[in-house]
Structure formats: C-alpha cells, structure tokens
Amino acid sequence: MDSEQRRSLIDKYAEGYDEVVRALEGFPAGSLTAHPIPGKWSAAEIVHHLADSEMTSALRLRRLLVEEMPVIQGYDQDQYATVFNYNDREIAPALDAFRGARATTVQVLERMTDDDWNRGGTHTESGEYSTQKWLEIYAGHAHGHADQIRRLREALA
C-alpha cells in the first residue's frame, strides 16, 4: 500500500462516524429496535456493534504499534449483541463511544511513521495481521453499516 492509498483510507475512516449519523437522520426513533429485514440486526444493534467494534479495533491498532508481534484476539459479535443487550439500550452513549474511539484513533493514524505501517502480529481467526490490514478492514466498516441502516429505513417505509 502506498502513501496515497493509505491517505485515502485514513480519510474514509475519519468520515465513518459522520456517515453513520447521516444514515440515522430521519430514522423513526420508535423503530430503532425493529427487524424489518429478517435475520439482520436492527439499527440500534448496529450502533452498539459499532461502539464495541470501534473500541476493540482502537485497542488492536495500539497493540500492533506498541507490542512486538501481538496476538490479536477475535470475538463473537453476535454473542456481544446478546450479552450486552444491544436492542434494550439507548444508542446515544454508544454513538459517543464510537465517535470518541474513532476520533482518537484518527489522531494516531495521522502520526504513524513508515515503520509503524510495517508493524504486525497474528489474529486468532485470520492469521497474519498488520497495521495496513487493520486500516483496510476498518476504513469502510462504518460505511458498510451506514448502508445497512439505510436499507433498514427503506424496509420500514
């Protein structure tokens, strides 16, 4: 990955929170926990997932930068949704956590050196895992979920 590609992915990552907020605009508040698409998460579940995922990913990046060859632990996102009652909690604190974790991580990404971009470790589920792979995964993560929220809103209409 060259510096131009990296810059583009960092910019996309930085825009992720705003993209989710835009997707939530006009979403009927009483329908945040609705499941209009069978087998898919509700908008509330998506927001809580984003908060947990963002906090987890922020720590993953930091471990990659600080530790020598860290082992990055995978997690069961569906189990998180169940155990942490994603559909039974207000989304405002989750949005705050998502925004905060992403904003502080953008600051880290902006200051990474070429050596930092060559650091890596091992992911328990996917094997070799690097800071570049981290960026490739998370740059579009929020955008994909914003699209899910939009599809949910369309299905409710």
Tens of each residue's pLDDT in the chain, 157 residues: 898 999 999 999 999 999 999 999 999 989 999 999 999 999 999 999 999 999 999 999 999 999 999 999 999 999 999 999 998 999 999 999 999 999 999 999 999 999 999 999 999 999 999 999 999 999 999 999 999 999 999 999 8
Q: Residue 1's pLDDT is what? A: 82
d(CA 65, CA 47): 27
Q: How far from the centroid of its chain's Cα atoms is residue 35's Cα? A: 21
pLDDT at 77: 93
* Per-residue tokens: 28: 């009927």
Q: Which CATH number fits domain 3-156: 3.40.50.300, 3.30.2010.10, 1.10.10.10, 1.20.120.450?
A: 1.20.120.450
Q: What is the pLDDT of residue 71?
A: 96
Q: 151 CB contacts (<8 Å, ≥6 apart)? A: 37
Residue among 43, 58, 52 nearest 84 (CA): 52
In terms of residues, how long is the chain? 157
Global model pTM greater than 0.85: yes
Domain locations in the chain?
A: 3-156
